Amino acid sequence: MITLPRRRQGTGVMRDWLLILLLGLSFGGGLGGPARAADWTTPAEQSGFRTTPSYADTVAYLERLQKQAPGRIHLGTYGVSPQGRPMAVVVANSNGVFTPEAARAARLPVVLVQAGIHPGEIEGKDAGLMLLRDVAATGKLQHLLDHAVLVFIPVFSVDGHENFSPYNRINQNGPDSMGFRGQSQYLNLNRDNIKADTPEMRAWLKLWQYWRPDLLIDVHTTDGADYQYDLTWYLEDPHKLDAGVSLWQQQAMASVIPAYEKRGHLASIYLEFKDGSDPRKGLENFGSGPRFSTGYAALQNRAGLLIETHMMKPYATRVRAAYDLVALMLDYAGRDAASLLETNARADAATIARASDSSAHVALTFKSDPASTPFSLKGYAFTQTPSQISGGTWIQYDQTKPETYVIPNWNGLLPDRMATLPAAYAVPAQWKDIIARLDAHGIAYRRLDCAAKVAAMGYQLDNPKWSSQPFEGHLMLEQVEAGLQPRQEILPPGSVIVPLDQPSANIAVELLEPDAPDCLLRWGFLDAVFETKEYGEPRVLEKLARDMLAKDPALKAEFERKLRDDPTFANPRARLSFFFQRSPWFAAQKVGAYPVLRLDKSVMPSCN
């Protein structure tokens, strides 16, 4: 039984025609008047795929589709961009299932397809318009969304999309003009999934929490090498997500890719070459991670597919590639709905159950598996010329000479740094930016309404090293040593207790564990904990040093060793600091004490 939406139903045929006529008039300038009113050619098709439409024209086309088929297409917004543009989202289903509640009641999987996270790579938008048109207007894909709900973001980075230029994608073969990779604050949305700095990402996270989609498809265009494939695709390494979800997505691709190639395409796994000037040296994993969309989906126990159409292929070919693969994935998700929903439910349940296993641990970072497998690369013949300009090697491909190379593939990853899991984290009330990030991700927590004394474990952070160059607006903490120590703390009222028995527990771990590559500490949200706020005057430290040397022979020996061996000890301030840093006056500042605490089940603070 499908719950029908709140929208009105049963638009009559006559009424549709009237609507089309009216629309034909309102869109008459571009479409040539009422005689061509039923023309559903998309803007990109109209230009012969020379151009891609503006955001306004994209939304106008979607509005036409909604008016044509209000029982199949629902156009809404889910946020506002930094420059004030409404962020459009389309929900599409054959039977008007337009809400998560209705999708759950009907046991339909929700597939989130996003285009234009990198708005210069915009095939997904134009393919999406064609696909929705064929679902809603032409009837060509009449049954595609009988058994799945499509949530489609036509342009994720809307401000970036409107920053149109022919010069935004130097590596890419058309369209004539396209959007810019950064949004209007120069941030790359496909690095923002965890830190969630941008209004766009915060809106997206709310959309994610509202729908909790069963499958994410993120549509991009490649950079990099030339080869025969019109599309490459990427799934997160099996070590990075629930085993059942990983298996589901691998089986999906094993079924969908042959069907895709039957439509005249050629596809490959994502191709990251170890050496861009010599593809024969083999492939490696491009890295991905929680800051990327598919990395985020993996942590949320959801299948995620990254699609990259090949930059050198004509725009028409690339749009068709995205259209066919997305259509086949939607079809597969619908046909395999029961298994997909069951897999996801099981993964969520396993994440919740993991919290009661005190020996549970998760991998935070990954390293390349030293074992490779042979990979048959459908490439092109190429020449390598020593370049007098770069001093390196100039690779030139010959597209008239397809050639297959068997090369080593090191795509496999292995867990590297691991963390055991606490029962919960405690974030003291004053760390509001951290709590705000928990909120952005919809992480469940309990707020203390009293001051609570806890015996917890906390990290002492030492030897921090920051990047000297900003990355995505942050000077990242590149290295830090984190050691766990017992800590007695008083959590002020308003502190939050984040239990790990929740489906999004992996996101909490990623945000809060110091060794996690995208944790808030690494992004620089807690840099102040490394700063000393009080210093010792040299005349005061002179006395302190004498007292300490007199009392502690081991300290005296260490000091004398450094005098002999350490060149930085030529500096009088360095010598005096040696004593200050070993004194209770320094310890009182708690430099490097990570404020987020790890709690055992036995020490959960309570206000009762």
Task: Choose one: 8-16, 42-50, 119-127, 288-296; the region binding Zn ion (CB under 5 A).
Answer: 119-127
Cβ nearer to Zn ion, comparing 312 with 496: 312
Contact between 598 and Zn ion by CB under 5 A: the answer reads no
Contact between 291 and Zn ion by CB under 5 A: the answer reads no
> What is the Cα–Cα distance from 156 to 114, expressed in whole angstroms?
7
Cβ nearer to Zn ion, comparing 52 with 502: 52
> What is the Cα–Cα distance from 601 to 608, expressed in whole angstroms?
16
Task: Choose one: 108-116, 141-149, 214-222, 372-380; the region binding Zn ion (CB under 5 A).
Answer: 214-222
> What is the Cα–Cα distance from 136 to 38, expressed in whole angstroms?
13
Site for Zn ion in 358-377 (CB under 5 A): none
Cβ nearer to Zn ion, comparing 234 with 459: 234
Cβ nearer to Zn ion, comparing 216 with 521: 216
Closest C-alpha among 127, 413, 153 to residue 295 = 413
Q: Strands of 477-491's sheet, edge to edge? A: 446-447, 496-499, 424-427, 593-599, 452-466, 477-491
Both tokens assigned to 450 = 């009293």
The pattern of x and - marking residues 546 through 585 that bind Zn ion according to CB under 5 A reads ----------------------------------------
Cβ nearer to Zn ion, comparing 118 with 212: 118
> What is the Cα–Cα distance from 531 to 190, expressed in whole angstroms?
31
Closest C-alpha among 516, 494, 486 to residue 446 = 494
Classify 124 in phi/psi space as left (phi over 0), alpha (psi -120 to 50) or beta: alpha
> What is the Cα–Cα distance from 558 to 317, expressed in whole angstroms?
70
Cβ nearer to Zn ion, comparing 113 with 496: 113
Cβ nearer to Zn ion, comparing 237 with 308: 308
Task: Choose one: 114-122, 192-200, 438-446, 588-596; the region binding Zn ion (CB under 5 A).
Answer: 114-122
Cβ nearer to Zn ion, comparing 222 with 351: 222
Contact between 220 and Zn ion by CB under 5 A: the answer reads yes
The torsion angles phi and psi of 535, rounded to 5 degrees, stand at -130, 165
Task: Choose one: 111-119, 356-364, 491-499, 577-585; the region binding Zn ion (CB under 5 A).
Answer: 111-119
State the residue for tokens 């906390």: 458
Task: Choose one: 79-87, 121-129, 196-204, 294-302; the region binding Zn ion (CB under 5 A).
Answer: 121-129
Cβ nearer to Zn ion, comparing 223 with 481: 223
CB of 220 to Zn ion, least distance (A): 3
CB of 376 to Zn ion, least distance (A): 25
CB of 308 to Zn ion, least distance (A): 7
Task: Choose one: 17-25, 113-121, 402-410, 424-432; the region binding Zn ion (CB under 5 A).
Answer: 113-121
Contact between 191 and Zn ion by CB under 5 A: the answer reads no
CB of 476 to Zn ion, least distance (A): 21
Task: Choose one: 24-32, 43-51, 63-71, 120-128; the region binding Zn ion (CB under 5 A).
Answer: 120-128
CB of 194 to Zn ion, least distance (A): 17
Which residues are CB-neighbours of 126 under 8 A, at least 6 positions away? Answer: 42, 43, 44, 49, 52, 53, 319, 322
> What is the Cα–Cα distance from 194 to 474, expressed in whole angstroms?
13
CB of 118 to Zn ion, least distance (A): 4
The torsion angles phi and psi of 582, rounded to 5 degrees, stand at -100, 15
The answer, yes or no, to whether the previous bond of 175 is cis (omega within 30 of 0) is: yes
> What count of residues does the chain have?
608
Task: Choose one: 112-120, 289-297, 483-491, 583-591; the region binding Zn ion (CB under 5 A).
Answer: 112-120
Site for Zn ion in 424-463 (CB under 5 A): none
DSSP assigned state of 529: G
Cβ nearer to Zn ion, comparing 118 with 320: 118
Cross-strand pairs, 373: 409
Both tokens assigned to 556 = 């005296």
285 touches 412 (CB < 8 A): yes
CB of 57 to Zn ion, least distance (A): 22
Both tokens assigned to 351 = 């994440």
Task: Choose one: 145-153, 215-223, 437-445, 524-532; the region binding Zn ion (CB under 5 A).
Answer: 215-223
Cross-strand pairs, 87: 79
250 touches 242 (CB < 8 A): no
Count of residues near Zn ion by CB under 5 A: 3
Q: What is the DSSP string of 317-329?
A: HHHHHHHHHHHHH
> What is the Cα–Cα distance from 127 to 152, expressed in whole angstroms?
11
CB of 157 to Zn ion, least distance (A): 10
> What is the Cα–Cα distance from 366 to 287, expressed in whole angstroms?
9
CB of 168 to Zn ion, least distance (A): 12
Cβ nearer to Zn ion, comparing 122 with 596: 122
Site for Zn ion in 35-94 (CB under 5 A): none
> What is the Cα–Cα distance from 64 to 22, expressed in whole angstroms?
10
178 touches 165 (CB < 8 A): yes
> What is the Cα–Cα distance from 130 to 559, expressed in whole angstroms?
74
CB of 171 to Zn ion, least distance (A): 11
Q: Which of 85, 118, 291, 575 binds Zn ion (CB under 5 A)?
A: 118
CB of 254 to Zn ion, least distance (A): 25
- Which positions lie near Zn ion, rule CB under 5 A? 118, 121, 220
